[in-house]
Structure 1
Amino acid sequence: MTDRTARVAGPAPGLLLTRSPALTPLLARGTLLSAFRRPAPDAAFPRTRLVLPDLRVDLVRLTAYERVCGFATGEDALPITYPHVLGFPLAMRLMSGRDFPLPLPGLVHTSIEIVRHTALPATGAYELSAHIAGLAPHRRGTEATVVTEARAGGAVVWESRSTYLARHRTAGPTPASRPSDDGPGPDPLPGVAEWRLAADLGRRYGAASGDRNPIHLHPLAARLFGFPRTVAHGMWTVARCLAAHGTAPSARVQAEFRSPVLLPGAVQYAAADGRFELRGADGRVHVRGQVDPPTPGPDGS
């Protein structure tokens, strides 16, 4: 791959990529380097902003993604979660590099906030970028925040902020916790639908998204990380909920990943008043989120 440094709009120096990085080699590299990492909230982290210009969507892969997540197929608009899939290889390149301080194995995606400013045509061309906004203490370790943006015509049309937690022993005062860390949270939402999840869901989503983390594909790999069976991708859970919930062309989504979904299994989708949950048969909440009303445009419409 040939990269070059360029002046690009954004909060950090831009490294222009010629194509999207392959995820599997990045996962392998990050795993090998993790033994040398010492996570801490005050550690140095990469400041580079990776930029992938003039990206066009592979419509065959998009259709596969829409099917496995429950979105309608054939519409000329990207699902609200799909730019995350497109930008994830950039985030992974940052997190698998030598200058990223958190170990990649066991890194947990704890939350995502997505803002879609307008509908994104599936046949459009986009500039994608990703950078690490910072590290923060967490009562269970250290969290990294990764910002991903999609631009069209120079304007930001979609953006997200994801937090990733590396668990380790902490010293000193316990930092303030997010609401999801304390107590049971809001009252349970009314159930809307029951979904039975097949054992091969992780493999099907991995093939559509490119995210082939072994814990989602192979029971043995999942057991090495303390799970009795394979685990569904967190981004599948929120995408499936949003496919059922629906979103306006301009919308803000906030979601917290609270516990893993084991495969095969059964879950209940619950929703009311812009809020949604995915719950297990025992009532445990796997993901909890909120969809805000459309953001008013410049003319107030």
Structure 2
Amino acid sequence: MTILVTGATANIGRKVVDHLLALGAGDIRALTNSPRKAALPEGVQVAQGYLGKPETLPAAFEGVERIYLAPMPDTVTEVLALARAAGVRHIVDLSGEPESWWGSVSNAVEDSGMAWTHLWPADFMENTLMWSRQIHEVGIIREPHPEAASAPIAMDDIAAVAAVALLSDDHHGRAHSLGGPEILTRAELVRQLAAALGRDIAFERSSREEAIAALTPTMGETATWYVDNALSSFDPNPVGLPITSVADITGRPATTFARWATDNVARFDLD
């Protein structure tokens, strides 16, 4: 059974490869636009291609039974048509609820006629890296809603769930909402990050415009979208968040934010 991992050198796809190997998968093909720079583990087949250019994909799809599908809304329908024509049977997609930013991916996968498993993650712990410049330059995080809460998840845990779903038929037709093991406010994220970094970081309630201005040097034009969509979606009193989902699916505890922050201190260094 050949499994194709798309986006195999990206943040989550690369980790999916590692988790598949750890679970004993023996026929993994990794899709990348730069095979010479991929540095993938020995034994992993490397296929050149890019989801944004479907014409590069037919050779990579040949003989593949299952695919981890990274989100690429603009070309997803064409990509899925090629996959089905190649005989692919099961898609595990990283996407979102139908009404969300990545919802078009979920809808297209369900309409494709192939078996599917959706992975709908909460806010990535890695998104806190956008605070790096503010931390180093002023020691203050500026956002409008310090009390807003979510269950942030580590990308490695998303990849672990993806690997399990790719290797089992038990997840066909299921949409897995994925969250980390704790519900944390934005202010609590800053407190835990400050403890990991060993420095004082203040949280300052800001206006929408101030938050966008603070994030723009790091995020560019995406800052406006993030403040108006992601930050505004967090609820001060969230209920029903999937805080046990990773452990339920993988059989191991999900990563806490405190653990993730400690393990990723070096990534906040701007030097």
TM-score (norm 2): 0.29
Higher helix share: 2
State the TM-score, normalized to the length of structure 1.
Answer: 0.27
